[in-house]
Amino acid sequence: MVRVFNWKTIPPAPFPFLKSGAFHNMRRAGTYVSHRGTRRGQVARGVQCLLDRGVEFRTEFLVRAAERVADPGQLAGAIDNERCRDAIRARSRHPFAKHSSVEESQQILDRFIAAGGNFIDTANFYTKGHSEKIIGDHIGRDPAKRDRLVIATKFSGNLYPGDPNGGGSGRKSVIKACEHSLRRLQTDYIDLYWLHNWDVNTPIDETMAALEDLVRSGKVRHVGVSDTPAWKVAQANVMAQFRGWSPFIGLQIEYSLLERSVEQELVPMAQELGLGITPWSPLKSGVLSGKYTRSSATRVKADRSAFMGTFLNETTYTLVDELEIIAKAHDSTVARVALAWVRMRPGVSSTIIGARRLSQLEDNLKSLDLLLTAAELSHLDSLTKPTFGFPQNMQPLFPAIHNGGTMVNGVHALPSAFVLEKTDRPY
Q: Which of 377, 402, 418 is the last residue of a domain?
A: 377
Q: Which of 92, 119, 135 is the last residue of a domain?
A: 92
**What pLDDT digit, counting tens, does each position of 351-369 carry?**
999 888 999 999 999 999 9
136 and 105 in one domain? yes
Residue 81 lies in a domain: yes
Residue 197 lies in a domain: yes
203 and 179 in one domain? yes
pLDDT for 5 equals: 34
Three-class SS string for the chain?
A: CCCCCCCCCCCCCCCCEEEHHHCCCCCCCCCCCCCCCHHHHHHHHHHHHHHHCCCCCCHHHHHHHHHCCCCHHHHHHCCCCHHHHHHHHHHHCCCCCCCCCHHHHHHHHHHHHHCCCCEEECCCCHHHHHHHHHHHHHHHCCHHHHCCCEEEEEECCCCCCCCCCCCCCCHHHHHHHHHHHHHHHCCCCEEEEEECCCCCCCCHHHHHHHHHHHHHHCCEEEEEEECCCHHHHHHHHHHHHHHCCCCEEEEEEECECCECHHHCCHHHHHHHHCCEEEEECCCCCCCCCCCCCCCCCCCCCCCCHHHHCCCCCHHHHHHHHHHHHHHHHCCCCHHHHHHHHHHCCCCECCCEECCCCHHHHHHHHHHHHCCCCHHHHHHHHHHCCCCCCCCHHHHHHHHHHHHCCEEECCEEECCCCCCCCCCCCCC
Q: Which of 32, 126, 193, 255 is catalytic?
A: 126
76/73 Cα distance (integer angstroms) = 5
170 and 232 in one domain? yes
**What pLDDT digit, counting tens, does each position of 75-86 carry?**
455 555 554 554
135/139 Cα distance (integer angstroms) = 5
pTM of the model: 0.78
297 and 413 in one domain? no
85 and 55 in one domain? yes
**What Cα–Cα distance (Å) separates residue 404 from each residue in 121, 340, 393, 426?**
48, 38, 19, 15
**What pLDDT digit, counting tens, does each position of 271-280 carry?**
999 999 999 9
Give residue 172's identity as a one-letter amino acid code: K
197/290 Cα distance (integer angstroms) = 30
Residue 233 lies in a domain: yes
For residue 232, pLDDT beyond 90: yes
Cβ contact 364:353 at 8 Å = yes
Nearest to 135 by CA among 154, 122, 125: 122
Nearest to 251 by CA among 199, 204, 196: 196
Residue 384 lies in a domain: no
C-beta neighbour count of 80 within 10 angstroms = 12
Cβ contact 361:353 at 8 Å = yes
CA angle (250, 254, 256) in 5-degree steps: 115
Higher-scoring residue by pLDDT: 96, 19 = 19
Longest Cα pair distance anywhere in the chain, in angstroms? 99
Residue 1 lies in a domain: no
Residue 6 lies in a domain: no
Residue 21 lies in a domain: yes
393 and 295 in one domain? no
- The rounded percent of the chain whose pLDDT value lies above 70 is 74
**What pLDDT digit, counting tens, does each position of 172-205 carry?**
999 999 999 999 999 999 999 999 999 999 999 9
135 and 87 in one domain? no
pLDDT for 14 equals: 45
**What pLDDT digit, counting tens, does each position of 108-153 carry?**
999 999 999 999 999 999 999 999 999 999 999 999 999 999 999 9
The domain that holds 241 is classified in CATH as 3.20.20.100
Residue 86 lies in a domain: yes
133 and 56 in one domain? no
**What Cα–Cα distance (Å) separates residue 121 from each residue in 150, 246, 315, 329?**
9, 20, 31, 33
For residue 416, pLDDT beyond 80: yes
Nearest to 237 by CA among 251, 227, 219: 251
Nearest to 223 by CA among 256, 258, 252, 247: 247
Strand 406-408, strand 411-413: pairing: antiparallel
259 and 397 in one domain? no
Flag the least confident range among 211-215, 255-259, 306-310.
306-310
135 and 59 in one domain? no
Nearest to 262 by CA among 289, 226, 294, 291: 226
235 and 137 in one domain? yes
350 and 258 in one domain? yes
Per the structure, the count of domains in the chain is 3
Q: Which of 50, 74, 92 is the last residue of a domain?
A: 92
Which structural domain range is residue 369 located in? 17-26+98-377
126 catalytic? Reply is yes
